[in-house]
Amino acid sequence: MLAHEHEAAGWFLEHAWLIPVIPAVAFAIIIGFGKKLPMKGSEVGIASMLASLVLAVGTTWQWVQRVDAVHGSEGEGALARGVFGFARGLVPRAAEGGEPYVEPVIRSWTWWQSGGIEFGLGQHIDGLAVMLLLLVTFISTLVQVFSLEYVRGDRRYTHFFASLTLFSAGMLAMVLAENTVQLILGWEIMGLCSFMLIGHWWEEQANSRAALKAFFTVRVGDMGLLVGVAILFGAFGTFSIQETSRIAMDPATSQTVLLWASVALFIACIGKSGQFPLHTWLPDAMAGPTPVSSLLHSSTMVVAGVFLVARLYPVFYNGFDIAQNGNSANLIAIIGGITIIIAAGLAFVQNDIKKVLAYSTVSQLGYMMMGLGVGAWTPAVFHIFTHAFFKCCLFLCAGSISHTASHHSFDMKKDMGGLLRRMPITAGAWMVSTLALCGVPFFSGFFSKDEIIDNADHNGYKVFFIVGLIGAFMTTAYMTRATYLTFFGTPRGAAAGEHHDEHGHADVHADAHDAHADVHADAHAGHDVHGAHDDHASHGKPAFGIAGESPILLVFPLIVLGFLAVVSGYINAAPFHIEKFLEWVEPRASEFAPKIDHAVFTWAKAAPSIILVVLGFVISLALCKAVFGEADSKLKGLTQRNRVLGAGHRFLVNKYYLDDLYEKVIVHAVAYPIAQAAYWVNQHVLDGIVNAFGKGGRRTGEWVYKYVDQGAIDGLAVNGSGKAARGTGGALRPLQSGKVNQYGALLFGAAAIGALVLVIVNI
């Protein structure tokens, strides 16, 4: 039943709910019939994502038309609004206070009812939803194309594409959610799919452990989502996101309710988006195939927590009183700021290229959260947009290198180096994406990340302004290190054509047990190795050799994403007064959204960030040449010679000992007493009951045997009947003498007795 529907707003806007439905149906088709199809189901997955992408493009187009119409651009044609609208952004915009609120397109159907409460399914289409619909469908399509080659010949090829398709469907369902119940549905679908995809090669114990760690860690945070939604429903009496935002903006609403709801919901965001201190699952999730890592870290799973804060921003904005202009910090800003620094620090000591990128993702998610915490809603959401392109590209570059150049290894020190000339396309895509990630001017990341830093200062959050600058320096430094080890210097190991099976380079599909042994040995040696985590069949090609460029199916997504890593930022390039993203995406101040103040860009304010980026590059490059170059240097082995530096290095290598804290202290303190109590109950209670029943049964059996079986049944029934039969036979035996005269006498006597009876009866 249609419960709620706004006025007609264009076919694509009104039918945007089809965008997640199509890949969800495709998942069912792949699971049911995929193995019988020519491409084993991959064609269904890609076709579904292309169809959703077309719908997302149409939805975006009509949303832009809707916004332009509200802003007074009705007289222009569609082409002028779509093409020349970008050029109009070059002209400084009018004051935001005079711009009207653009009504979202909301449709809802009653799903089921319970106790007078309606639970619905529907869509909530606004600028935020449109941006993510376009982003998720586009990135998912490219990742599936990349996967065609990357997992070719995999033993669970069909199931991989099924899970990947459902993964995207879950994110799309959450983005479209009209109410918090539907949001939870999409949220949990992604959690399930991440478990299946991270543990795709579950034969390796390391992969299974990583999948379980991700699942349980995120589940800890998810308890906050359930509690937060329950608080909001209990206080507001509605699951509707639109109505929840309206009530949260009402000055009469209890600030205490909003505060505790915000705390609970943000705990869920900490787990899902890998924020400190629940970030430890994200690097371990690299055990999954590289396309999974790329999709998970760019536009789905980890972005879900940031999206939740942005979607319910009125709740967080008033719950944490973000509008205080930095007079006191709030939980979102604090956690985001800590995450930026601690994750960037860990990226410096990783030898695994994917783990460098994983910690980079954690750090950039910290920027997004910090941006939301300091009132920079639009820059934070814009960073979701730009980050998706260059981070997806970086992960796929790592997959391209592993697939083609390093014999399925991700170890930069052992199996890479000197790949710049041998893989020019991969190297070029990596370089431009790295420049975007570091926030180099005129690349996409600069236009989003620098705006977060600038607005932190503008809104009075001075400490977080400094944190953002430090993070910019650290980002450039660790990415310079990763770039140098991968593409410069002398080729090493597999990149030089050497073949070796140690450190988990064995083909996991051919010999999972041997690969596990190698990885397990390296894990004890303190190395970050997961070459075996991402192994797949060699597809008939040599297992190792001098590197060349990757096949076209791997290279094509890199070219597209590398291009977008450069140009995507220009949709909201504040230095050039281009603010179309702000116009199309940011909700204007209204009863549903707070008024957000924006800093005015100046190159003078951007100068500290630019200077630190340059310093990060220069200092890191010099250190890389000294430490990793062939020339002698006093810096080589310094952490082994200097106790203080060695202790600091071990502290980072051991990930601040957070895993030890969780697994050896917290889990041990909770799980072991529970296990011991369960063992005691098993031994003394359950076993006691079982033993008592056993003894009782035995005694009952003995009594039954003695008195019932032996006494009653055998004694009375069997033996008694036998004795009776024997006595009767003995008594009747004399009658069978064989003498005819005796038989005749007996017959005559019987006849006489019968006649006497008849006479008596008839008297």
pLDDT given for residue 384 in this prediction: 96
Dig out the tokens for 27 from the structure: 């998942």
From 235, 744, 205, 266, select the one nearest 522 (Cα to Cα): 205
pLDDT given for residue 759 in this prediction: 56
Give the pLDDT mean for 364-385.
96
Please say whether the beta carbons of 393 and 561 come within 8 A. yes
Tokens 């799973």 belong to 301
pLDDT tens per residue, range 213-269: 999 899 888 999 999 999 999 999 999 999 999 999 999 999 999 999 999 999 999
Dig out the tokens for 441 from the structure: 């001017």
Query: What confidence tier does 640 reach under pLDDT thresholds 50, 70, 90?
Result: confident
pLDDT tens per residue, range 343-370: 999 999 999 999 999 999 999 999 999 9
Cα(133)–Cα(126) distance, integer angstroms: 11
- Helix then strand then coil, in percent of the chain rounded to 5, is 70, 5, 25
User: Within 10 A of 152 (CB to CB), how many other CB atoms are there?
Assistant: 17
Least confident span in 42-56, 221-235, 372-386, 719-733: 719-733
Sheet with 105-114, strands from edge to edge, namely 2-5, 105-114, 117-125
Please say whether the beta carbons of 244 and 232 come within 8 A. yes
Is the pLDDT at 718 greater than 60? The verdict is: no
Is the pLDDT at 511 greater than 80? The verdict is: no
The answer to whether the bond into 734 is cis (omega within 30° of 0) is: no
pTM, 2 dp? 0.82
Is the pLDDT at 316 greater than 80? The verdict is: yes
What one-letter code names the amino acid at 241?
Answer: I
Evaluate the CA torsion angle 468, 469, 472, 474 in order and state its sign. negative
pLDDT given for residue 3 in this prediction: 44
Choose from 140-154, 403-417, 503-517 the range with maximum mean pLDDT: 140-154
Query: What confidence tier does 275 reach under pLDDT thresholds 50, 70, 90?
Result: very high
Specify the long-range contacts of residues 321-330, CB closer than 8 Å, at least 24 apart.
Answer: 321/255, 322/373, 322/374, 322/375, 323/375, 323/594, 324/460, 325/459, 325/460, 326/374, 326/456, 326/459, 326/460, 326/461, 326/462, 326/464, 327/460, 329/373, 329/461, 329/463, 329/464, 330/373
Dig out the tokens for 343 from the structure: 């994750």
Dig out the tokens for 526 from the structure: 């303190």
Percent of the chain with pLDDT over 90: 56
